[in-house]
Structure 1
Amino acid sequence: MTRKSMSSLHRVPSAGGVEHGYPQGHLGHLTATEEQALKDFKVLLEEKNLWTPGPPPSHDDPTLLRYLRARKWVPQDAYVQFNDTEVFRKANDIGVLYDTMDIDAYEASKKLYPRFTGRRDRRGIPIYIYQVRHLDSSTVAKYEKSADTTYSQAKTDGKTPGKLLRLFTLYENLTRFVQPLSSECTDRESAETPITLSTNVVDISGVSLRQFWNLKGHMQAASQLATSHYPETLDRIFIIGAPVFFSTVWGWIKRWFDPVTVSKIFILGPADVLPVLTSFIDIRNIPKAYGGELEWDFYDEPRWDDPEYQRIITFQNGYTSIPEGPMYVRPREDGTTLDLVAVGSKDQKHRDEVFATIPKAFPAKKEAASTATEATAVESKTEDAETVAAETKVDNAVAPAGADVPLTEDINKLSVTDTAQTDGTTEVSEKIASQPVVPKETTVPS
C-alpha cells in the first residue's frame, strides 16, 4: 500500500472555525461571544417551549453547551438539533426506557458497544474501550433478534430499531451517571468545569474486511443516531490495530460523522499506541493489552477502584459496590449531597434505590452568591447599583471567559500530517511530546 493511499488516514481538520480544546468552550471557560450565544440559545428555546429556567432548569447549561459546540455556536442551528432530539426522545419515551430497562437486557447491550473501564484520563474524562473483533455476524444477529423483544415500559415511534434504542440507554448512562459522577471528582485541572465528554480507544485488531462489511450497517446507524442526539459527548477517539486494508474502511467511516468529530479521530500505528495514550492517560489507567498497568479486559465490569471515586462514594442501604444496570446521579434539595440511584427492572419489578451518596464538590460558592442576590432583589424590589453588582459577580463566577485553542496546536502541538507508513497503518510522527500532558486552560489539546 502506497503512502498516497494511506494519506487519508491522518487526522482530518474540521471545516470552518476553530475547534475548542477542553475546557475551552465548556462551562466556566467561555468567551464573551460564547456567553452571548448561550444566553440567546436559552431565549430561543424558552420561546419555543423547549426550556424552562427553573430552578431547577429543565436542561442544565453543560447540556445546552453541547449543542452549541456541535453547531459552531450558532443558536438557530443548535435549536434545530436540540428540537430534533427532543422530538425523538418524546416519541420513544427515552426517559421511561432508561428507568424501566430490563437490567439483564441492559447488561447484554453493553457487550456490543464501547465499555467504560471505570477509569479517567489525565483531564478527568472517563475512558471507554471498544473491541470490534467481538462483533461477529452470529453475535450481532443474536443480539438484534433479542433486541426486538419487550424489555421496558417505553412506547416507541415504531421507526427506530430496538437494537438502537438499547444503545441509547448506554448513552443515557454516560450522560446521567458516568459524566456527572466524574464531574464531582476534584483531582483534575479545571475541577469546577463539568465533564461532558468521553475518551475512546477503538481496537480494530483481528477484524477482517468481511467482518467490517457485515458490521457496516449496524455501526453506521449507531454512529449517526448517537452523534445526532448525543452531540459533543466524544472527545478523543484513538483507533488502534488498523489492518492493511483500513484505508478502504476509513472511506466509509468518516462519512458517518460530522467534520468536527472526524477531526478528533486518530489512527495510531503499533509503535505510537503507548506514547500517545500515556500523553493523555496515566499508565495505571491503561489496560495491559495496550501496554498499561490496568488489569481489565473488554468483557470486565468497570474497575471502580479509581482512588477519587473511592474517596467521594459512600455506600448506603446495604450496598457495598456499584450495582449493575441503569443508574443516575441525582441532586438532593440540600444542594450539598448527590444520590447515586439504581433504576431499571428485574423480573418486571421496577427498581429505584439509592445505593450511595457523594458530596457536591462545589456547592457553596455559586449557590451562596445566587441566594444573596435573590434576597437583595426581594428586599429592595429595585435594580439599584448594589443588586446589579451582585448579579454581575454571580455571572462572572459562573462563566469567566476562556481563550480559544487553535486546531493545529492539539496534543502538545502533535503533528499528525507528518506521517510514516508502516505495516499498512498511519503512524503519528515523532513530534509527539515526550512528557505527559498536564492540562492547562490555554494548552489543553483540542
Structure 2
Amino acid sequence: MTKHTGSSMHRVPSAGAVEHGYPQGHLGHLTEHEEQAFVEFKTLLEEKGLYKPGNPPSHDDPTLLRFLRARKFVPEDAYVQFSETEKFRNANQVEILYDTIDIDSFETTRKLYPRFTGRRDKRGIPIYVFQIRHLDSHAVAKYEKSTETTYSRAKTDGKTQPKLLQLFALYEHLTRFVQPLSSECTDRPHPSTPITLSTNIVDISHVSLRMFWNLKSHMQAASQLATAHYPETLDRIFIIGAPMFFSTVWGWIKRWFDPVTVSKIFILQEHDVLPVLTTFMDIKNIPKAYGGELDWDFFDEPAWDDEVKRICQFENGYTTLPQGPVYWKPIDDGKRLECIAVGTKKGVDRRERVCTITRAYPPKSAEDTLVSTTEGEESFGTPTEKPIINAEVPTANIAALSISDGK
C-alpha cells in the first residue's frame, strides 16, 4: 500500500497496530499457524454444537475465518465472539428478519447508510459511499418513527432497538449478496480467494458539529453491536470533506475503535482525494463527485460493472439485480449459485430466482469445506449458513455501518 506523508494527507495514527493487508489471513493465503488455528476453531465449534460440516456446511469458511481473524487467530477467543453472535442472531431471528423485511422499509434504511456503488476496487473489494449530510435530525426522526411499526415477521429479544435491527439487514445484504457476488468476479488478483471486505468512501462535507453530536448515541450503539456481530468486513475507510472542527469530533469517535481499525482510516484533504483514491481504485470506478469517471450519485442504484453483467445469467423476466433483500445460494453441488430475491411487498412474500452464476472455483468435494491453503477450494454460505457482516462496513462509523473492525 502506498504511504502518503506530509500535511496534505493525514493518516490517523494506529498506535503501533500491526497491519496485514488482503489477502493475508484469507482463504488460500493462510500461514501454517493460521491454518492450524482454523482447523482447531472449526473443531471447537463442532464440539460445542455451533458448526456442522457437510456440503453445504452450516456456516461457510469465509464467515468463520472473519471471526478468527478478528480474534487474532486465537480459537478460544473467536469461539466466545462467535457463540455470542449466534445467541444474538437466534434471539432476534436475524434470518427471518432478512427474509421477511418489508422491501420499502429496507430501501428506506439503505438511504441513511453507506451504499454500494456497484463497483469494486483494484483488488476486487466492493466500494461503498456514505454521505453523512443526509442524516439530519428530520430524516433520522422520520426513520426512527417508521421502525416502530411492524416491518418483518421476526421476533426480537426486546432489548435491541428496531432501528438497529433494520440496519442489520444491510449487513446481511453485504455478507450474503455483495461479497459473494464480488467473490465470483474473476477480473482481480487472487480470483479464487473469497471477498469478505469492503472499501468505503465517507463524505462528511456539509456536516455541522451539532449534527455530529446529535448522532453520537446512535453511532456508538450501532458500532458496538456491529463490532460484536459483524467482524472483519472493512478494508479501508477514506474520509473526505472533513470540516475544521473534525479533529475535535475524531477525538471522541476514535476511542470507540481498536488500533487496527483506526489504522485503516485515511482523512483526505480536497487536493489529495483523487490521487489517493486512484491508488486503490481505477478512475472509472470512482464517482464523479470525487474526481472519477463514474456517473453515480448517492441515491442511485448500483452501477453494475461489466464483469457482474458477464457472470449473471438472468431468469424469470429479470434483466438486472433487484432492490430489496437478496442472497446467493449454492446449487448443483456447489457448481453454481442462484440469486434469490426475498422480502415482502404490502404483506406479500417475494421469493424468486433472479439469476444464476456458474462458479469459477466450485468446491471439489465435501472435504474441501475444511480449511485449505490451495486457492479455489472455498465454499460460500447458504441462507441457513448465517453469514454475518462486520462492524466495519461502510465507513468511519459515523453512523452505524462503519468503522468498527470487530477486533
Residue 175 of structure 2 aligns with which residue?
175
- 1:148–1:161 contact (8 Å) kept in structure 2: no
Alignment root-mean-square deviation, CA = 2.1
Residue 352 of structure 1 aligns with which residue?
351
Note the C-alpha offset of 1:334: 3.8
**Residues 156 and 130 (structure 1), Cα distance of their counterparts in 2 relative to 1, 3 Å cut:** same
Residue 11 of structure 1 aligns with which residue?
12
Distance in 2 of aligned mates of 1:139 and 1:301: 20
- 1:133–1:206 contact (8 Å) kept in structure 2: yes
In the TM superposition, what are the counterparts of 1:27-426 in structure 2 within 5 Å? 27-304=27-304, 306-363=305-362, 366-367=363-364, 370=365, 395-398=372-375
- 1:329–1:341 contact (8 Å) kept in structure 2: yes
Deviations 1:15-45 (Å, cap 9, x if unpaired)?
56x3221001000000001001101111111
- 2:325–2:341 contact (8 Å) kept in structure 1: yes
Deviations 1:390-429 (Å, cap 9, x if unpaired)?
x99x9453599xxxxxxxxxxxxxxxxxxxxxxxxxxxxx
Residue 26 of structure 1 aligns with which residue?
26
Distance in 2 of aligned mates of 1:192 and 1:118: 20
**Residues 297 and 69 (structure 1), Cα distance of their counterparts in 2 relative to 1, 3 Å cut:** same
- 1:121–1:285 contact (8 Å) kept in structure 2: yes
Most deviating of 333-342 and 160-169: 333-342
Residue aligned with 2:357, SS: strand
- 1:9–1:247 contact (8 Å) kept in structure 2: no
Residue aligned with 1:33, SS: helix
Note the C-alpha offset of 1:217: 1.2
Residue aligned with 1:255, SS: helix
Letter in 2 for 1:186: T
Residue 419 of structure 1 aligns with which residue?
none
Most deviating of 98-107 and 54-63: 54-63
Distance in 2 of aligned mates of 1:399 and 1:351: 33
Residue aligned with 1:57, SS: coil
User: Displaced runs of 4+ in structure 1, greater than 6 A?
Assistant: none
Distance in 2 of aligned mates of 1:50 and 1:201: 35
Letter in 2 for 1:10: R
Q: Radius of gyration: which is bigger?
A: 1
Deviations 1:68-89 (Å, cap 9, x if unpaired)?
1111111111111111111110
Note the C-alpha offset of 1:12: 2.6
Note the C-alpha offset of 1:64: 1.0
Residue aligned with 2:353, SS: strand
Note the C-alpha offset of 1:152: 0.3
Distance in 2 of aligned mates of 1:19 and 1:90: 33
- 2:27–2:372 contact (8 Å) kept in structure 1: no
Letter in 1 for 2:322: P
Percent of aligned positions with the same letter in both sequences? Answer: 69
**Residues 294 and 395 (structure 1), Cα distance of their counterparts in 2 relative to 1, 3 Å cut:** closer
Distance in 1 of aligned mates of 2:32 and 2:14: 25
Note the C-alpha offset of 1:218: 1.5
- 1:29–1:399 contact (8 Å) kept in structure 2: no
Distance in 2 of aligned mates of 1:111 and 1:224: 21
- 1:285–1:294 contact (8 Å) kept in structure 2: yes
Residue aligned with 1:397, SS: coil
Distance in 1 of aligned mates of 2:216 and 2:10: 18
Distance in 1 of aligned mates of 2:126 and 2:215: 26
Distance in 2 of aligned mates of 1:176 and 1:113: 17
Letter in 1 for 2:113: Y
Distance in 2 of aligned mates of 1:64 and 1:352: 27
**Residues 396 and 130 (structure 1), Cα distance of their counterparts in 2 relative to 1, 3 Å cut:** closer
Distance in 2 of aligned mates of 1:10 and 1:133: 23
Total equivalences in the alignment: 371
**Residues 62 and 15 (structure 1), Cα distance of their counterparts in 2 relative to 1, 3 Å cut:** farther
Query: What's the TM-score, normalizing by structure 2?
Result: 0.87
- 2:55–2:333 contact (8 Å) kept in structure 1: no
Note the C-alpha offset of 1:253: 1.3
Structure 1: runs of 5+ lacking an equivalent: 1-5, 375-390, 401-446
- 1:236–1:264 contact (8 Å) kept in structure 2: yes
Residue aligned with 2:256, SS: coil
Distance in 2 of aligned mates of 1:10 and 1:399: 35
Note the C-alpha offset of 1:193: 0.2
Distance in 2 of aligned mates of 1:259 and 1:225: 18
Deviations 1:257-302 (Å, cap 9, x if unpaired)?
2221111111111111100100111101100000001111111111
- Structure number with higher relative contact order (C-alpha < 8 Å, ≥ 6 residues apart): 2
